[in-house]
Amino acid sequence: MKNTTYINNKFIDHNKAKISVDDRGFLFADSVYELINVSNKKIIDLDQHLNRLKVSLRKVKIKYKLNKKKYEEIINKLIKLNKIFNGYIYIQITRGVAERKHEFPNKYSPTTIIFTKHLKINKKIYEKGVKIITIPDIRWLRRDIKTTSLLPNVLSKQLAVEKNAFESWLIDDGNITEGSASNAWIIKNSNTIVTHPANNKILKGVTRDTIIKILKKNGFNIKEKPFNLIEAKNAKEAFLTSSTLSVLPVVKIDNYNISKGKPGDITKKIINLYNNYISKNKTLLSRELKIA
C-alpha cells in the first residue's frame, strides 16, 4: 500500500523520503520528536503533543516557528492519504544540515519529518498484563526533553526483551523514574495512585497528564512523588502509560507477582475511564471541518 510522508514541505512516497548524512539529527541526535496516537481515526491529545514539541524545541534551542494550524492540515492529510484507522503520527524536527561541528551552526534550516504508521492492538497484553524488569537508569539528566537521543532507552528496552519482559522500569537514586518508553505507576494498598513527579528525571507523558486529570475528576487520590522498588513490589496494582499503549496493566515486577499476577480491578477501571476519554476526542472529520 502507498505510504506518504511529509518531509520539508513536500509530501512524498515514504520509501523515497531521505535526509542528508550531514543532518545534525543523524550525526548528533540534535533533534526532538513527538509520537501521537490515532485511535478509530481520532487524533489523541494533538494540542498537548504540539505544545510539548514547542517546549522541547525551546529547551534544545532549535529556532522554529511551529504553526499549529499548518500541522493539523499536514497531519489530517497524511491520515487520510495513508488511511490510518489505528496507528500513530511521528514528528521529528532536527537542527538541519550543517558541517559536522558540535556547536550550533550560525544559520540553519531545521529538517521536519512527519510520517504515519498503522498499529495493530495486541488485546492479549491488556487482558493478561505484562512483566517488567527493573534496571539502573543510565540516562542523562534532561529526560524531560523529548529528544531522539534514545540509545540508553533502546538498550534498556532490549534488556527487557532479552529477559522475556515487556518493559524496563529504571531506577535512579533508589527510586523508579519511568519505563524505557512509558511512564510508571503503582497503586498502593490505601488506594493511592503514585507516579514520579514531572521533573528533569522523567518525560512528562501526555498520557500521564491526561490520566492524572481523569483520575482526579473521578475522585482518586493521586500522589506525584518518587517510589522505590520495595514500594513497587508491595503495590496492590501497577500499570504503565504511553501514547501507543494507553494504560497497560503490570502484573510482575522482576520475579514478584503484582495483584496475584492478574490485572487488578482499579487498573481495569482506569483503562475504561481512559478508553471513554479517547472515544470523546475529536475525530479527523471534525478537525477537517474546523480547518475548512
Which positions from 130 through 149 interact with ligand PDD, judged by CB under 6 A? none
Sign of torsion over alpha carbons 20, 21, 24, 26: positive
Closest of 163, 205, 199 to residue 184, by C-alpha? 205
Which positions from 138 through 197 interact with ligand PDD, judged by CB under 6 A? 153, 178, 181-183
Q: Toward ligand PDD, which CB reaches closer, 117 or 223?
A: 117
Catalytic residues, by residue number, are 146
Q: Quick check: 199 and 183 in contact, CB under 8 A?
A: no
Q: Does 203 bind ligand PDD (CB under 6 A)?
A: yes
Q: Does 244 bind ligand PDD (CB under 6 A)?
A: yes
In the complex, minimum distance from the CB of residue 190 to ligand PDD, in angstroms, rounded to a whole number: 25
Q: Which residues of 8-24 are buried (b: 16+ CB within 10 A; e: fewer)?
A: eeeeeeeeebebeeebb
Judged by CB under 6 A, the number of residues near ligand PDD is 15
Q: Toward ligand PDD, which CB reaches closer, 35 or 66?
A: 35
Q: Which of 157, 201, 208, 236 binds ligand PDD (CB under 6 A)?
A: 208
Q: Toward ligand PDD, which CB reaches closer, 3 or 244?
A: 244
Amino acid at 236: K
Q: Quick check: 177 and 184 in contact, CB under 8 A?
A: yes
Instruction: Give the residue ranges of DSSP H helices in 64-148.
Output: 68-81, 123-128
By CB atoms closer than 10 A (0-12, 13-18, 19+), residue 35 is middle
Strand-pair category, 130-136 with 111-118: unpaired
Which three three-digit cell numbers place residue 27?
A: 550525526
Give kind and range of the element (H or E) at residue 15: none
Q: Does 24 bind ligand PDD (CB under 6 A)?
A: no
Q: Toward ligand PDD, which CB reaches closer, 134 or 241?
A: 241
Stretch that binds ligand PDD, among 18-26, 189-197, 236-244, 252-260 (CB under 6 A): 236-244
Q: Which of 56, 76, 82, 242 binds ligand PDD (CB under 6 A)?
A: 242
Q: Toward ligand PDD, which CB reaches closer, 5 or 180?
A: 180
Stretch that binds ligand PDD, among 10-18, 101-109, 205-213, 271-279 (CB under 6 A): 205-213
Instruction: Give the residue ranges of DSSP H helices in the chain.
Output: 24-28, 46-59, 68-81, 123-128, 151-162, 206-217, 229-233, 265-279, 284-291
Site string for ligand PDD, 28-67 (x = CB under 6 A): -------x--------------------------------
- Which residues of this protein are in contact with ligand PDD, per CB under 6 A? 35, 153, 178, 181-183, 203, 205-208, 241-244
